[in-house]
Structure 1
Amino acid sequence: MGALTLKAFSDELREWEFIEGEGIDPTDSFGVNLRLSIREDQIFLAEPNDPSTPWLTDKGRLFFDGMFEKSSNKSTDWEGFFTDISEVMYFIDHLNLHKKNISSFIFAFENLSLETLNMLYLLKQSCSMVELRKVESHQVSNDLESQYQLGLSTQKAKLHMSTLGILINTNPRYEGYILNLSLRQRFLKGDFKLLSIGSMLDLTFPTYNLGSNFGILKSLGSGTHLACQDIKNSEFPVVITNTELFKRSDAKVFTEILKYVNVLDTAWNGCNVLNHNIGSTGIQSLNKFLPLSSEDFTNFFGLYYINVPLSSAGNVKKLTELHLLNIFNSTNSFNNKVFIDQNVKAINKTFYEKVENKLFDNYFHLPSNMFLEDNETYINTQGLIKRTTKLLHFKKDAKTNWQITRKFYANTKSLVFFNNKKDNMLVNFNSINSFNFKNYVNFQFYAVQTLTSLSFYLTKQNSPLNSPVQLSIKSSKVKVLNTKVKNWLDDFFNGNGKDSFSYNSSVLVNCSKIMRASSTNFF
């Protein structure tokens, strides 16, 4: 990955004209530290700022190309919007009191910071009609941290003890290049073999592909596969998969199968799950949120998207097509359904125009701040605390996601809902500024030594529980489907749109077209 820069940087600007700032890379789940060169609220250069990993992909160098655009001259009527939406919620609450089928207000989100996620959770507790949903349908168990994030076995000290690695439906070169570098360094030291179940990929070091059929795991558990001999003779094997695997209905049995072949035991838990974006681990840490389903679209009066581009959400597009074809009938008598788009840009307006007067009748765009325009906190796929600092102030009319959600929360506390009288008596954290709210977030997740105003910044990493739970209740039988896992394409520039910036970058889109035209048959 070469040192690519924008043409404006080499032809027009000079190094002494920039202000240096620190940030993180939002294009993957590791959040690598960056050193950013800023001039007049514009980013022109991104370089790695971590001495332990002095490496950065092209996506990390050029993601900011899709962040900036000319700010809209149309101002947002914030007070009018919150007044109107509060009246609608108050009317729907009275309507639900006399109805059997209660209408709900669906909040669908992706890529959220811990502050915004916790404020949404408080909003759900104060208003029973609010439903929180994930856009992606991942069936990941979050009882232990080791079930949804990378464990200690992928760190360099532990990885040096291992002699075998198993990749299941993952491409670490694309999804987490830091992990791919660690695997490459371990392979170059010798006495390390890497098995792969999935597409044949170029990971810059040799791998042994076992096939792309998920039924291979069944043969590993029964001991009929040739790779069982390598697993039996290995020491401290490491298993790496990703959250895309948990979209399958039979994905929850793969850890049980690996226990039968002694890959996972009580002394060594080498199972690791690689997340697809920087905010996925934090969502799993708070609660087990359900994904959007067809039942959510049968009886609702509002759909609220936060940081979700519908162009890359296959689950939402499928549900919308089913609704337009009248596959499932809506029993909701409320026709004026509201579509709210809380994003940096009005990227979902074209989707609303297709379903206007069919699925929705009103559209609102709430401009939120861009990445690096707010002090936010994330948990990366390793369990490390990653923080962004406010370096830019590009859009004057926009507000942070936390401010918009807090305004919703304040409006619900000023209303009296009849359907959740018990919830109205709950003691919730009423914060005035985001600095105090960070301490609430930290106290909810981790144990701290002191409850001071700086206690949140003393925590650097969570302490995961890696011991597998021994259940006395016999688990239900799950049928293993002999189908292929996800097919990967070698497209490192634009990919499948898991981050919120690559799909809108003109440089990365052009690189993606050239890559697909020269190396694959897919266009």
Structure 2
Amino acid sequence: MGALTLKQFSDELREWEFIEGEGIDPTDSFGVSLRLSIRENQIFLAEPNDPSTPWLTDKGRLFFDGMFDKSSSNQTNWESFFLDISELMYFIDHLNLHKRNAYSFIFAFENLSLETLNMLYLLKQNCSLIELRKVESYKGLNDFEAQYQLSSSTDKPKLHMSTLGILINTNPRYEGYVLNLNLRQRFLKGNFKLLNIGSMLDLTFPIYNLGSNFTILKSLAEGVHLSCQDVKNAEFPVIITNTELFKRNDAKIFTEVLKYTSVLDTAWNGVNVLNHNIGSVGIQSLNKFLPLSTEDFINFFGLYYINVSLNSTANIKKLVELHLLDIFKSNSTLSNKIFVDQNTNSLNELVYGKGQHKLFNNYFHLPTSLFLEDNETYINTQGSIKRTTKLINFKKDSKTNWQITRKFYANTKSVLFFNNTRDNSLINFDCVNSFNFKNYVNFQFYAVQTLTSLSFYLTKRNLPLLKPSNMNIKPTRTKVLNTKVKGWLDDFFNGNGKDSFSYNSSVLVNCSKIMRSSTSNFF
């Protein structure tokens, strides 16, 4: 007698009909390697493929549920769109020539690959009307790689040398489960203590919570805290924080404060910054992009969102609501503004409907390819190079982000802008083939010995630059705010906008509702 299985299960999952492929997990900043089972251009099963990390969260297993949308959509007239945009930008450029306050075209992006990010940077250099903005409202430090990514101190060989860890406003179980597994394995070996400054967390192993006030760091530096003895006697201590900490105005001095506690010295740098998505490190590696602010919503003639959902991003949602209340209303603002939504699905159409004929007059949806429909490259939070391969071909009318941005770049090259005389003399890289463009991306991001056709694919990890110990630069004065750090809620299924897949997955949304209703009483 055979095994008792459901008839529906046997009809859906037949292993001999699957095509195996390799991909990465886009729901966190590590990009763990996955083994995907594909049939009829759809993903049915995701399993871990990295021998060193044989673990995968529920988000990594079920994120593809929100990728496939079988609803019928209208065909996109690509030629008409680029023609209208070129004419509008040419008209605005003439208007800016005779106007004191120039109008701008705001490009807001999140979760971009290195190829698309470099093409956007070339587009900004070629056209002075375009302003590049991040979605998240934090101003991190990116002078050195050690200021925005995890250092080698979190690797298993060096982590075994450490006897103390300090978490500052971060939840590694939620943001980076690979790091949480390494901390758990280090704790089980013994002689390791983990201190936490923030909310009470359940990391599946014991931790010591010091409180949630930011002034605890000040007391550690002054030597009046009870845990100062643990810090003083620790060997190779490790400090882990995240990019959410840099939303505070006084966050840039926390490394300076830790120097007085003997946590950091010239021989050991244990500061680690955990990112929240797979594309955050690449954005900080190229340039220091400013976040969206209220000043950007005063003089603009169009918003161009790339991989952004307004309903799941608190910063943009607040700015749009303020704009609908005429907070930024002035006599110099344009009444005819355009809204361009470059996403896999028309996620922002409902938000456009609220501001139609008041904030925007035209809406364009540019369908982009899915996550596994293009060959893309990312830098994870450890500095390793993660690449995706094209495994499926689900959306027929869609284009990749690199193709759309390059077409936009080609149209701006054919238009003569009056206010762009300085940028027109710059030498830009123009290439039709995306594979040759990858070598330019490699040259932009990393120092290589030779620029050949294989230099991009041979690069496995960036070489981080550390801050020299002999730099005696007087820092600016910063006022420390006596407030609490961000409070964490244990919600592992819904990413709250940190990735582009969790909030659109029906399975993860239902799991999140069940978990919040059973574990808390304030939802």
TM-score normalised over the length of structure 1: 0.97
Q: Residues 468 and 203 (structure 1 numbering): CA distance in 2 closer, same or farther, change over 3 Å?
A: farther
- Report the more deviating stretch, 37-46 or 12-21: 12-21
2:180–2:203 Cα contact (<8 Å) kept: yes
Which amino acid is the alignment partner of residue 110 of structure 2? E
Q: Are 2:56 and 1:61 equivalent residues in the alignment?
A: no
1:522 is displaced (CA, Å) by 3.2
Deviations 1:66-110 (A, max 9, x none): 110115341000000000000000000000000000000000000
Provide the residue aligned with 1:143 in structure 2.
143
Q: Residues 316 and 193 (structure 1 numbering): CA distance in 2 closer, same or farther, change over 3 Å?
A: same
**d(CA) in 1 for partners of 2:390, 2:509:** 27
1:327 is displaced (CA, Å) by 2.4
- Report the more deviating stretch, 257-266 or 294-303: 257-266
2:298–2:333 Cα contact (<8 Å) kept: no
Q: Please state whether the residue corresponding to 2:45 is helix, strand or coil.
A: strand
**d(CA) in 1 for partners of 2:420, 2:269:** 43
**d(CA) in 2 for partners of 1:7, 1:269:** 57
1:151–1:466 Cα contact (<8 Å) kept: no
Provide the residue aligned with 1:126 in structure 2.
126
Q: Are 2:234 and 1:234 equivalent residues in the alignment?
A: yes
Q: Residues 9 and 296 (structure 1 numbering): CA distance in 2 closer, same or farther, change over 3 Å?
A: farther
Which amino acid is the alignment partner of residue 231 of structure 2? I
1:182 is displaced (CA, Å) by 0.4
- Report the more deviating stretch, 103-112 or 504-513: 504-513
Which amino acid is the alignment partner of residue 192 of structure 2? F
Q: Please state whether the residue corresponding to 2:499 is helix, strand or coil.
A: coil
User: Map of 1:264-413 to 2, 5 A cutoff?
Assistant: 264-413=264-413
1:208 is displaced (CA, Å) by 0.2
Provide the residue aligned with 2:473 in structure 1.
473
Provide the residue aligned with 1:209 in structure 2.
209
Q: Residues 358 and 8 (structure 1 numbering): CA distance in 2 closer, same or farther, change over 3 Å?
A: farther
1:421 is displaced (CA, Å) by 0.8
**d(CA) in 2 for partners of 1:228, 1:482:** 20
- Report the more deviating stretch, 477-486 or 234-243: 477-486
User: Map of 1:417-456 to 2, 5 A cutoff?
Assistant: 417-456=417-456
1:269 is displaced (CA, Å) by 0.5
Runs of 4+ in 1 over 6 A off after TM superposition: none
Provide the residue aligned with 1:464 in structure 2.
464
- Unpaired segments of 5 or more residues in structure 1? 1-5
**d(CA) in 2 for partners of 1:78, 1:284:** 31
1:471 is displaced (CA, Å) by 4.2
**d(CA) in 2 for partners of 1:334, 1:510:** 42
Which amino acid is the alignment partner of residue 83 of structure 2? T
Provide the residue aligned with 1:171 in structure 2.
171
Which amino acid is the alignment partner of residue 119 of structure 2? M
1:252 is displaced (CA, Å) by 0.9
Which amino acid is the alignment partner of residue 177 of structure 2? Y
Which amino acid is the alignment partner of residue 167 of structure 2? L
**d(CA) in 2 for partners of 1:449, 1:14:** 48
1:328 is displaced (CA, Å) by 2.9
Q: Please state whether the residue corresponding to 2:318 is helix, strand or coil.
A: helix
**d(CA) in 2 for partners of 1:412, 1:481:** 46
1:269–1:467 Cα contact (<8 Å) kept: no
Which amino acid is the alignment partner of residue 507 of structure 1? V
User: How many residues are matched?
Assistant: 518
Q: Please state whether the residue corresponding to 1:290 is helix, strand or coil.
A: coil
1:242 is displaced (CA, Å) by 0.4
1:475 is displaced (CA, Å) by 1.6
Deviations 1:375-406 (A, max 9, x none): 00000000000000000100100000000000
Deviations 1:96-148 (A, max 9, x none): 00000000000000000000000000000000010000010111100000000
Aligned-pair RMSD on alpha carbons?
A: 1.4
**d(CA) in 2 for partners of 1:279, 1:470:** 32
Q: Please state whether the residue corresponding to 1:107 is helix, strand or coil.
A: strand
**d(CA) in 2 for partners of 1:199, 1:508:** 24
Provide the residue aligned with 2:3 in structure 1.
none
Deviations 1:128-177 (A, max 9, x none): 01000001011110000000000010001111111000000100011000
Identity of paired residues, percent? 79
Which amino acid is the alignment partner of residue 490 of structure 1? D
1:479 is displaced (CA, Å) by 1.4
1:481 is displaced (CA, Å) by 1.3
- Unpaired segments of 5 or more residues in structure 2? 1-5
**d(CA) in 1 for partners of 2:312, 2:415:** 36
